[in-house]
A and B are shown apart, each in its own frame.
Chain A
Amino acid sequence: MGEDIRKITLIGGTTKSGDKETIERLEIHKGDIITLVGPTGSGKSELLSDIEQLARGDTPSNRAVILNDGELNRWGRQMVAQLSQAMNFVLDMPVEDFLELHASSRGTSNNPVIEEVMGLTNSLSGEPIDARDNITSLSGGQSRALMIADIAVISDAPVVLIDEIENAGINRLMALEILSAKGKIVIVASHDPLIILMAQKRIVMHNGGMFKVLERNKQEGEILKKLIVMDNELSALRDTLRRGGSAGIAGAAVNCRVQAHEADGGDH
């Protein structure tokens, strides 16, 4: 399709009190995962909204967002794909018909694409879904997994904005990695330490402004490893208990046991 978004540059505007934002300029590249941190009301959603609207000093923050080196001033196609906890599926149809509908609306029909989405969805979600299931009957975790896989494969928006990605029984790290591997710019507002540290870089929001940019340091890298182990344990534990198994402690690790006859199908 010719043009491609290689990077976006955020040009700082003003904070809620009208002072200049500390961060004056920040470049985010294709494949980057950036997190936004800060208490509620610190301006995370507004920053996401500025990016979505390609602000040009015309929003309350006075920020500007530049595509590539400024040679593009408008992106003809869908630039941003969004994901938030408030989103649900409302169309009532089987998953495969839904994906077919989406793929054909993008002009990218069909079978291999749908298979790829189904494969990714089922690797993200603890509870696999069937292509014949109705989308409105999926669980929270299944819906979220399907939304992410669909954004990764069918939606061709180069930028993905995520407003919190809840721990609803999906592999969140894998989700972010998949989006990044597809060459998306991924920006996530989150309160979750695992997500925050997963990103190489995070923007600290304060009083409506970009206050500072932190890179993940060596110690945080170690902490991330621990968090991943803990997160995996937590997922395994959730799975075990849901399937009627028992849990115990083996050394420092949680030990999950599901008796063979209790495990239904033995996925993952």
Chain B
Amino acid sequence: MKFVTVAGPPSSGKTAVLIHTIRHLLEDGTKVVVGKIDCLGTNDGEKYQKLGIPVIVGLSGDICPDHFYVPNLEVIFNWAKEKSAHIAILETAGLCHRCAPAIKGCLAISVVDNLSNIDVPQKIGPMLSTADIVVITKGDIVSQAEREVYRRKMELINPGAEILEVNGLTGKGSLLLKTSIMQAADVDTITGRELRSSMPACVCSYCTGEKRIGKSFQLGYIKKIEATETKGGGG
């Protein structure tokens, strides 16, 4: 079974791109299942169900979405195997911007859109730099110059990645994405595999639902800003 993670900022077009891509996979008779990890709520489950494929949705709720994601990888992997899937695709949303869900040995896709500010690639560095494929969406509504500038940015951040421009509305470009997914390696198990980048450390009272502000409510791993003024543009 191929296990594919798909990450990207909110509303970048992950689901839209995947729906077109999965349609191509299904046309070839490939058995696809989809998982979606999110924080509070999502309609993506229903969207994938419309394709007539098995779907599993996990919401992290009170738990840090990053820390929710990792322990549930085995659950989703084993579920997908039970469904005898050829390809399991896991769309992750709600992960913090310093995190990336990519797993060593499993195809990692990141989806970004052309509308985001030119600095966004820096803000979500690990998510882009750990990806095997970077998909850029929404090229239909920006200028050619901006498409080229974005593409170049991605090439600089992740020189080894395959960069694909896909239109989430019409599906243009999704055929190439399908072809690349088909070339991914098969994996027998996910147990023992490693994330490509680490998750942030955090075990504090807020992790478990504390809401009150103040020193006496703070337990566990706490890091404080040094209260000195930033000089000269921050950076």
Seen from chain A, the residues whose Cβ lies within 8 Å of a Cβ on chain B are 45, 49, 52-53, 58-59, 78, 81-84, 86-91, 98-99, 101-102, 105-106, 143, 147, 150-151, 154-155, 157
Contacts and interface: CB of A to CB of B under 8 A. Distances in A.
A150 to B, nearest CB: 5
Interface of B: 114-115, 118, 139-149, 151-153, 170, 172-173, 175-176
A86 B141 contact: yes
A84 B144 CA distance: 10
A150 B141 contact: no
A154 B148 CA distance: 10
Nearest to A144: B143
Interface residues of chain A: helix, strand, loop or mixed (majority): mixed
Given A49-B170, A90-B114, A91-B118, A155 B175 contact: no
Contacts of B114: 90
Given A86-B140, A87-B144, A147-B144, 13 more contacts: A78-B151, A87-B140, A87-B141, A88-B143, A89-B142, A90-B115, A90-B146, A91-B146, A102-B149, A105-B149, A147-B145, A150-B144, A155-B148
Contacts of B175: 53, 58-59
B101 to A, nearest CB: 27
A45 B176 CA distance: 18
Contacts of A59: 175
Contacts of B144: 81-83, 87, 147, 150-151, 155, 157
A84 B140 CA distance: 8
Contacts of B151: 78
Nearest to B167: A49
Contacts of A147: 143-145
15 contacts: A49-B170, A53-B173, A84-B140, A87-B140, A87-B141, A90-B142, A91-B118, A91-B149, A99-B145, A101-B149, A102-B145, A102-B148, A106-B148, A147-B145, A151-B144
Contacts of B172: 49, 52-53
A92 B147 CA distance: 15
A154 B143 CA distance: 13
Contacts of A88: 141-143
A89 B170 CA distance: 21
The B interface is mostly helix, strand or loop, or mixed, namely: helix
A87 B148 contact: no
A101 B143 CA distance: 13
A105 B152 contact: yes
A105 B146 CA distance: 10
B23 to A, nearest CB: 11
Contacts of B147: 82
Contacts of A84: 140
Contacts of A151: 144-145
Contacts of A89: 142-143, 146
Contacts of A106: 148, 152
B145 A155 contact: yes
A18 to B, nearest CB: 16
B138 to A, nearest CB: 9
Contacts of B148: 78, 102, 105-106, 155
A245 to B, nearest CB: 33
Q: Point out which of A99, A155, A157 has the most chain B C-beta atoms below 10 A from its C-beta.
A: A155
Contacts of A78: 148, 151
Contacts of B142: 87-90
Nearest to B146: A91
Contact of A150 (B115, B145, B170): B145
Contacts of A82: 139, 144, 147
A98 B141 contact: no
A53 B177 CA distance: 12
The 4 closest A-B pairs by CB, nearest first: A105-B152, A102-B145, A81-B144, A105-B149
B170 A87 contact: no
Contacts of A53: 172-173, 175-176
Contacts of B173: 53
B66 to A, nearest CB: 30
Contacts of B153: 105
A56 to B, nearest CB: 10
Contacts of A99: 145
